[in-house]
Each structure stands twice: as structure tokens, then as C-alpha cells.
A and B are shown apart, each in its own frame.
Chain A
């Protein structure tokens, strides 16, 4: 049977299209981008070699540092909240709704596949203050609060982004974690119950430790996604007010395409790539000790 599958011609024929597209459109540009970090200029004006100037400039650039800080803050807050919300929902599906959960699961999952731009436009209308007060402001004023320009205030707009993205993603993490939780063997749960564990104790001592591997996957997946946040912020605040909600992704986009600085843009993109790598390795290392304990 081996001889049928040891077929050089077939291998070449079937692998080449995918590998060629992948190499030409992804692998080569990645390396090419790294060489851009040592140059200044752009596709229209031409390039000039500048050594490590871009790298040095990055660490001395206050806007870049703000963007880095925003990215980190967003990634940490978002990962915590969306995985926690997802875990809460997954527990709700399993222990409260049990076999009646499928419609609720499907409904809460639906925002996941909605176009981010549509969701962002929807939320910016919900939190609007002018020209007309949106639902959120109307309810707040009803409760005795003041008209607040949520998207015009740096502190509030961060949280509006967070609320929107938790709304968008909680159903996803709920289904992901639910899939992990239903695989916990029934007999383990039964024997824990017979030993007298119930309610929170059961969750804390039995369910939580057994679901650590799937939690690890969720957290890694979440960090990787949130560090790359772009769509929701562009569509909701476009980085504003000022540059208060500008992540690295958007800053890279601005420097490259609005100011035509390809070299500096590539440097920002490279830093983002490094950040993704470091975060993944870090989470994986620190969590694995817990999982295998």
C-alpha cells in the first residue's frame, strides 16, 4: 500500500498550488516586511536604508507607546472578561438549562458571525449623545444621570469598546467551553455528588480543574485575537477621541497608509508580531504548569 502513497508526482501536483500561494503571498512578504523595518520611504517615493532608526524611533515615540499600552490593556481586560463571560454561560448551559439549552446557545452565539462593522455602527447609535440621545443615554437620564458623550470621552470609549466586544464574542467562548465541559465524564460528577459535593463546591473542586485544558486553549486563542483587534475599533471609534483608543494595528495602518511611512509601519507590525509570539509562549508556559499539576 505504501508504494501507492509514495508518489512524488502526485505530491508535487497536489501540494504545489497551496504552497506556492502561501509562500508568495504570505511567507515572502513576512520576510520582506522585516527588511522594510530597516528602511524609510514608501512604494511611490522609493526606499532608503536607515539601519535601526525605525526601531529606536519606535521606543521613543509617545504615540506608539500609547498604542502599545492600549493594545495590552485591551487584550488583558478583553481576555479576562470574554473568557469569564463564556465560562459563566457554559456553566449556565450545563447546570441550569441542561438539555434545553440549544436555542439559548444558538441565540447567544449569533452575534459572533455578525459583520463587525454593522455591530459597531449599531453600538455607536446605542451609546450616542448627539444629535439625538441613544437608548443608553435615554435610560441613564431616566435614572437621573447626565447626558454623557460616551464615545467622546477617552475613559468611557474604552469601556464601550469592551462592552461591544464582550457582547460580540461571549457566545463563541460559551460554546467553546461548553464543548469542553460536556466531555467531563458523568461518573466523576456522580461520585463527587455522592461524596457530598454540590453547587459551587462541585464547580470549584471538580469542574474547574477538569476544564483547565480547554480554558488554556480559550485564553491563548483570545489573547491572539485581542492583540490583533482592528475592525471593531476602526468602525466604533476610529481610534478616537484623539488617539485614545488606537491599538498597534490601527497605528500601523495610519503610519503606513495615511503618512506613507512603510518602514515605520513595518516596524510597528513587527513589534505586534513579536508581542503575539511572546504572549502565546508566556501563557502556554505559565498555564501548563497548572494543567499538569
Chain B
């Protein structure tokens, strides 16, 4: 994109005149303000995680902490049980993620590459699941989990997460498989590869990036889930990180700011660390999921 004003004069790209630079100042101030509203709340939480309770109550909000120690973090983990919550989230999310990717990729191959009657109908059936609100499946599932007697385990979360992730995963990976040129498959068949070999040694490597992208989208979706965890977690020591954070306030009776801010900081900056490594992929994945979904 070049300038918004018509640039009819001879190219003068090397140095912009001062007046143009000055005219851009309000724009830059606007950008700075937007960035400030995004960054400041997180900075405030981080600073808060080092403050003591009296500092919260008597100092103004912009004051920096008077000490830099990890007391609040220690009490968030020890008394608040943050460690248990993180462990539960890991135990629920990663097995589901593995199953979603395994089943989803295989099904996408069966629906997009393999040839059989009715495959487009099944693909639409998967697609329909994207729009249905989760509330629609909670009650029957709860009844079943209750009757089978697994409500006090992590299994209801793993089973439900695996199913919830399926529609978008199948649909997105199938879309990426559609983009593989058919010559690739022709060449593979001529070389005598069978259908499983073509899946594992040719198709999967070609959509490797797509699988990784889908994995990221599903990870954030499941990791940040509140509704399903809130419904199926009936025991305090099975709480995932989101449910745990939600109950953080209640547990301390009167709001104990320090540990709460420490708990929020751990989740926010843990996510930030992951995001800094993967930001391009995250953005591409989240938005392509939206358009195609």
C-alpha cells in the first residue's frame, strides 16, 4: 500500500518532508493510546501481583509495589491450589487434543481424499455441529455421565472436549487437503503406494502446517473453556484453571488481592510466553478457522 494521497510528482521516497511527518503525529498518538489500553491493564495486574493487601487498600492504583518478592505467587499456589488447577487443565486438554487431531485428520482424509458415495453429506453433518450451542448437549451428557458414575473423574471433560473439537477440526483439515494438487496423488499411486501409505507418508506431511494451526486453535479454545468445565467438574480438586480462577475470590472470603492478581498473572503471562513464540501461526489459525467455519 502506498500513500493515501495521489503521488503524482516524481518519486521522492528517500526523505519525507517535515510537514508530512507532522501531519502523521495525531495518528501515532491514536495508535499509542490504543496500545496503552491493551497493555496497561496487564501491566497493572502484574504490578498488583507483588503488592501487599494494605498497599491495595491505601495506595493509589498507579503506585508501584514496595517490594519485589514472590509471596503472592507462593500463596496462590500453596493456599489457592493453582498448581492443582493447572495440572487438571493439562490432564484434560492434552489427551483431548491428541484424540481430536488423530481422529479429525483421519476423518478429513476419508471425507476429502477417499472416494465414496455420501461423503459430502457427512462433511455437511460435521459442519452443522459448529453452529449448535454447547448448552444443547450438556443435559443429556450430564445424565449419562451421572448414570455411568464418572462424574467425579476427569473423563467427562476429555470425552466432551474431544467431541466438541471434532467439527471444526475435520472441516479445516479437509479444506487444506482439498488444496493439494491431484498430481501428487496420481504420482503416489503410480509408484504403487497403498491408501494408508498415501495418508501417512504423503498427505499428513503436506498438511503438517495446517494440523499444527488447528492444534493451536483447539488448544486455546479448550484451555480457556469455562462452560463445560463448570458443568462437569463436581469436585473441588478436579477444577481446571478457569474454574479455579473463578472460585479464587470465594475461597478467600474477603477479596485477597495479592494472590488473586498473582493467579491472573500466571495465566496471562503463561499465555503471553506461548504467544510470543507462535504469534504468526496463532493469528493465521484463529482467523482462518473463523472464515471457513
B196 on the A face (CB < 8 A):
yes
B246 CB contacts on chain A under 8 angstroms: 117, 234-235
Bound complex: CA of A50 vs CA of B123, how far in Å? 36
Bound complex: CA of A11 vs CA of B117, how far in Å? 11
Against A, the Cβ 8 Å flags (1 = close, 0 = not) of B90-107 are: 000000000100111011
Residue from A7, A112, A249, A256 within 8 A of B133 (CB atoms)? A249
Bound complex: CA of A194 vs CA of B248, how far in Å? 61
B60 on the A face (CB < 8 A):
yes
Cβ of B41 and Cβ of A122 under 8 Å apart? Answer: yes
Against A, the Cβ 8 Å flags (1 = close, 0 = not) of B141-181 are: 11100110000000000011011101100100000000000
A113 on the B face (CB < 8 A):
yes
A194 CB contacts on chain B under 8 angstroms: 6
A285 on the B face (CB < 8 A):
no
Bound complex: CA of A270 vs CA of B57, how far in Å? 46
B21 on the A face (CB < 8 A):
no
A196 CB contacts on chain B under 8 angstroms: 6
Cβ of A172 and Cβ of B271 under 8 Å apart? Answer: no
B227 CB contacts on chain A under 8 angstroms: 230-231, 249, 253
B18 on the A face (CB < 8 A):
no
Bound complex: CA of A230 vs CA of B170, how far in Å? 25
Q: Which of B66-74, B108-116, B205-213 contacts A (4 or more CB under 8 A)?
A: B108-116
Cβ of A43 and Cβ of B136 under 8 Å apart? Answer: no
Interface residues of A in 104-132 (CB under 8 A from B): 104-118, 121-123, 125-126, 131-132
A187 on the B face (CB < 8 A):
no
Cβ of A113 and Cβ of B44 under 8 Å apart? Answer: no
Q: A1-B189, A22-B126, A26-B132 are in contact. Are A6 and B115 (CB under 8 A)?
A: yes
Q: A121-B260, A249-B135 are in contact. Are A43 and B103 (CB under 8 A)?
A: no
Q: A114-B268, A118-B268, A122-B264 are in contact. Are A221 and B293 (CB under 8 A)?
A: yes
B201 on the A face (CB < 8 A):
no
A89 CB contacts on chain B under 8 angstroms: 34
How many residue pairs link A and B with beta carbons under 8 A? The number is 279
Q: Which residue of A lies closest to B287 (CB)?
A: A176
Name A's interface SS.
helix
Name B's interface SS.
helix
The smallest C-beta distance from B80 to any residue of chain A, in angstroms, reads: 13
Cβ of A172 and Cβ of B287 under 8 Å apart? Answer: yes
The smallest C-beta distance from A117 to any residue of chain B, in angstroms, reads: 5
Bound complex: CA of A86 vs CA of B211, how far in Å? 27
A76 on the B face (CB < 8 A):
no
Q: Which residue of B lies closest to A95 (CB)?
A: B4
B42 CB contacts on chain A under 8 angstroms: 122
Residue from B5, B56, B163 within 8 A of A198 (CB atoms)? B5
A40 on the B face (CB < 8 A):
no
Cβ of A17 and Cβ of B139 under 8 Å apart? Answer: no
Cβ of B136 and Cβ of A29 under 8 Å apart? Answer: yes
Cβ of B141 and Cβ of A29 under 8 Å apart? Answer: yes
B19 on the A face (CB < 8 A):
no
**Would you give 23 A-B contacts (Cβ < 8 Å), ordered by A?**
A1-B185, A4-B195, A6-B116, A7-B195, A17-B107, A18-B166, A19-B122, A21-B159, A26-B167, A29-B140, A92-B30, A105-B283, A106-B279, A122-B44, A122-B45, A125-B48, A125-B257, A193-B7, A224-B131, A256-B139, A265-B139, A273-B133, A280-B131
Taking A15-B106, A234-B246 as known contacts, 12 extra A-B pairs with beta carbons closer than 8 A to each other, sorted by chain A number, are A10-B195, A17-B102, A43-B146, A92-B30, A105-B283, A110-B38, A112-B286, A115-B271, A117-B267, A122-B41, A138-B61, A277-B131
